[in-house]
Amino acid sequence: MAFSNVNVSFSNIHDILSFQDIFSRFLDNADYQPVQLRTKRITDRSGYGQTELQSGPATDKPNYSQVLLWMNQITERPKGYPMIEYYETSYELDMKKNSDMEAILFGEEDCHPSHGYGPTLRPYHLFHFVTRGKGRLEIGGRRFEIHAGDAFLVPAEELSYYEASKDDPWSYSWTGLTGVRATQYVGQILTVSPEKYIIRGLDTKKYAAVIHKAAILKGNSPENYFASQISLYTLFSFFVSDLPDMRNAEVIPSLASRIKFYIDAKYTEKLRIEEIAEYFGIHPNHLSRLFRENYDITPKLYLNRLKMEKAALLLRATDNPIVLIAESIGFEDQHAFSKLFKKHWGMSPLAYRKQN
């Protein structure tokens, strides 16, 4: 399939976003012939008008990132366009935190002069990619000046404030993520970046193009969940390509984090602290002290809390019998399960299910 000239008229931003989605799907699925893609933008006072797509002979098919960049150029928003944001809520945040790497949200905005956000902290990691303008970030007791071509990282549970420039306010795209592996990757980026929270000299429009495709998703569905995950993993493939030191950076998880991961992975079993200590080759008292020093809770209390949170989730989300829920999180005795559940939540499992 080939085309010589296609003229498309847009009356508003929604037409452009729809066109982008439809055309990108066409590129993904068509029997694609090598072409040279070019664009010609004719705009009116509103910033939108007619876009002409042209093709001609070429020796190579554009790769995925080139197509994304090209599509982003077509749909680039004028200054002052309202914020777009997509939240991925297929699973609860606590469940995502215990997963490998999960997307939380994607968004983009052209900020007004001096528009600020914070001070605040979030339960997930957040990346911003600045495509135009400038602003500042305050985090970790430091202040950074940010410009187009820079990205900044706000780790989970870290207080931050950022503000657009008064004279040249920034436009940026962002993504939020969580998970065990996500935290390790964030740690790698913090390690290899000379300014820790800041990554300079990126082709941020390449990242923004990926985020844009996720930010315009509507509603939560299996298709959108996987689409958002693809966008997240694509961003990190760019990171690995753009930050060579990240490929070589090795993050060795601490013993405490390995113990926590072990508990997170095996909480559904009838787990005993003595067995965990034996697995890691340390004394149970040392394990308990180490875990408490790092997480402000004993491993036994953490394990019980994790079981009770998962039990509450199953009571809300399923009609499974209580005895089956108890067994699924490592309780052979339903009475012992009900007793611990009431101690944790202040009511019996049956009462909790009725109330929720």
Instruction: Report yes or no on 79 lying in a domain.
Output: no
Residue ranges making up the domain that contains 286: 255-355
Residues 137 and 277 in one domain: no
Burial track 157-180 (b if 16+ CB lie within 10 A, e otherwise): eeebebbbbeeebbbbbbbbbbbb
Burial (0-12, 13-18, 19+ Cβ within 10 Å), 129: buried
89 and 190 in a common domain? yes
171 domain residue, yes or no: yes
Same domain, 220 and 115: yes
Whether the CB-CB separation of 85 and 106 falls below 8 Å is answered with: yes
Question: Are 51 and 93 found together in one domain?
Answer: no
98 and 219 assigned to the same domain: yes
**Token digits of residue 344:** 């944790």
Antiparallel, parallel or unpaired: β 102-110 and 49-54: unpaired
* pLDDT tens per residue, range 203-228: 999 999 999 999 999 888 889 999 99
For residue 29, is it within any domain?
yes
Phi, psi of 59 (to 5 degrees): -90, -25
Q: What confidence score (pLDDT) does residue 246 get?
A: 62
DSSP H helices, the chain, are 13-29, 64-74, 93-97, 180-192, 204-215, 222-242, 244-248, 255-266, 273-280, 284-295, 299-317, 322-328, 334-345, 349-355
DSSP at 98: T
> Tokens standing for 259?
């113990």
Residue 253, pLDDT score: 64
Amino acid identity of residue 37, one-letter, is L
For the record, the structure tokens of 261 come out as 């991961």
User: What token pair was written down for 140?
Assistant: 């970790």
- At 188 the pLDDT is 81
pLDDT in tens, 224-235: 999 999 999 999
* Domain match, 232 and 169 both: yes
Place of tokens 């820079």: 150
Whole-angstrom distance, CA of residue 105 vs CA of residue 102:
10
pLDDT value at residue 66: 46
In a domain, 14, yes or no: yes
Clarify whether residues 259 and 243 are in a common domain. no
At residue 232, the pLDDT reads 94
Q: How far apart are CA 318 and CA 310, in angstroms?
A: 12
pLDDT of residue 81: 57
Answer yes or no: do 272 and 298 share one domain.
yes
Q: Are residues 49 and 95 in the same domain?
A: no
In a domain, 221, yes or no: yes
One domain, residues 266 and 312: yes
Domain end position, chosen among 74, 105, 126: 74
Q: Looking at residue 199, which CATH number applies to its domain?
A: 2.60.120.280
Name the domain boundary from 228, 248, 268: 248
CA 148 to chain centre: 21
Asked whether residue 195 is domain-assigned, the answer is: yes
Shared domain for 89 and 235, answered yes or no, is yes
DSSP SS3 for 70: helix
Decide if 100 is inside a domain.
yes
Quick one: DSSP state of residue 78?
Answer: P
Q: Are residues 264 and 184 in the same domain?
A: no
From first to last of its 356 residues, the chain has per-residue pLDDT tens of 344 444 444 444 444 444 444 444 444 444 433 333 333 333 333 333 333 334 344 444 444 444 444 444 434 445 555 689 999 887 777 777 777 789 999 999 999 999 998 888 888 999 999 999 999 999 988 999 999 999 999 998 888 999 999 999 999 999 999 988 888 888 888 887 888 899 999 999 999 999 999 999 988 888 999 999 999 999 999 988 888 766 555 555 678 888 988 888 888 888 889 999 999 999 999 999 999 988 889 999 999 998 999 899 889 888 889 998 998 888 888 899 999 999 999 999 999 999 88
**In the chain, how many domains are there?**
3
Task: Please tell me the distance from the alpha carbon of residue 137 to that of residue 291, in angstroms, as a whole number.
Answer: 33
pLDDT, residue 262, reads 87
Q: The domain spanning residue 337 has which CATH number?
A: 1.10.10.60
> Which of 248, 278, 295 is the last residue in one of the domains?
248
Residue pair 160/122 in contact (Cβ under 8 Å)? The answer is: no
Amino acid at 168: D
Residue 261 domain-assigned (yes or no): yes
Neighbours of 327 (CB within 10 A): 17
